[in-house]
Structure 1
Amino acid sequence: MKFVSRCVLVWLLALTGYAESATEAQCQTVRIGVVDWTDLHVVNGIAKSLLEQLGYRVELSNQPATPEVFSQMQQRNIDVFMGYWTPAMVEVAAPFYGPQDVSTLTANLDEALWTLAVPDYVYEQGVHDFADIARFSDKFEGRIYGLEKGSSGNAAILEMISSNAFGLKDFKLIETSERLMLAQVNGRVRKGEWIVFMGWKPHPMNQQFAMRYLDGGDQYFGPDYGKATVNTSIRKGLEQECPNLARFFSNLTFKAAIEEEIMQKTSNEFVPVDRAVRMWMHRNPAQVSAWLSGVKTLTGQPVDAQMMADEMEVTFGR
């Protein structure tokens, strides 16, 4: 009887493992939301490289702005978004969080900030505060350079303009992509021309340009130069349907130094994102191990983090 009981126990454990594996297999395609931000490309690249090593298939779903990402999550077309900045995006996200179609899984970075910035030579000539911008309207050509349409940063700038905060009623917001905005900054800095633009950390712009963040924008971007937390959002049901994925994304937290080191490779040394993140992970197996703590492969097997880190470099060679 003891032998039979043990056999039954083994069978039940095997059946349970099979059921968990079968359930997780239904989650084998992971759809990650993308907006064209350098920092988001890096963290998405880290997630994609690790998930593929675990046996998952990853789809990066490009969207024009954050409202579209949250809308697609609400419709269950996107599973995860690792670029929800708070408090800056709370108002944008509220309609999708309200019905509980989208929720926050974890904070993945707590060292972020964003607010208006200028080149250091502009700062040295008297632009220290939001209240200084309008005094130099001619030098700025009446323009403030923002991000893509729908950005919460743009919404804050438009609110300042429409309410004539800081005397900005005659200014125009230039809505464009991060890449094109930074091309404008680069071009004007080379010529010593004036520009005021959306700046943030982490981002390699902080090493690429000698720039200063402006005081006085607390009402619109928050205190301490728009100090922010970046969060990982998930669609409704992901934690229950795909617990291994939920564990993985809960583990996937970052330091600004990690992101900026990889972004330096992608932005200024033109290393492709997938290569840059794999090179970094190969050199930092302890961090890979932390990200994969308690995580299994798609088929339910334990993970050898050191082996995965080694394989990152094997993929590309030295």
Structure 2
Amino acid sequence: MLTVDVVHDAGIALFTIATVITLCRLAIRVHDGLLCWDDFWASFSIASGALMLTGVLIITHPTASMSQLTVVTAYYLADTGFYACVWSSRFSILCTIKRITPTYDNWLRAMATAFFAMWLFLTTQAIVHCEKHPEWKTTTLQCPLGKNVAIAQLTTAIFTDLILCLTPARMIWYSDLPMPQRVRLIIVFSTCLLTTVTSVSMVVASMSVIVSFAFRLALMWCAPELADSSSRGDQTVILTSVWATRDVENSAAKKSNVLNVEGRPDSCVLHAKGSQGSTSDSSGSAV
């Protein structure tokens, strides 16, 4: 039976899992020197989730000393925090797709604009609806959103999750990548559909980095020589968290302008600068 205590415990447990996974993702990216905008949005999602959880905990366990204004504010905090958490996670997934499909840059920019518009619309719709029916502030202290809000949420969720799954489909379909790497990409992007069913956006947003890191660990365990070459950058670029050889990078840069002169993705504006110098020095000494 769904009770207040169940909601309380489930909220804390799920947020803890999402936070741990996202922190692991950020640690991997910092270690690899590949912090980018998708990591920023993942971090923003965690911060938004913390605000949402704070509001939920106040709503589910209000104390006698709390005023009506405090509980109403907590409700709005939970409501806006929920939208911010889910949509920033989708932005993180969209930025990940942009890093591996730069040829769709204009399309992805348009989708980012549409995502932001839907985020703003849903947040505004919920607030306006609750302010038009203020009786909840003196009774249940929780705003009944109604059918229209539910339909808007479901429609936008299905639309955005389908976009996040289908956008990379063309790249995967026409790529000449080995089967294990294709499977890895399919697993990563098919998990986007989970956001429609269970709203685990923060977990899904970090799946690309976690799966990539797990793939490298599997190589280290099963084929150390391949793992060693992977760590030096001797495998084909799939996700930008996997290193690539200079020959492959230069070839990709000529064909699709994915990489800049230093061998890093152009879209990765937050990555660490120090790793470039060390890479150049090691290459020069090897020659």
Determine if the TM-score, normalized by the shorter chain, exceeds 0.5: no
Rg larger for: 1
- TM-score normalised by L of structure 1: 0.28
Higher helix share: 2
- TM-score normalised by L of structure 2: 0.30
Higher RCO (CA < 8 A, seq sep 6+): 1
Higher strand share: 1
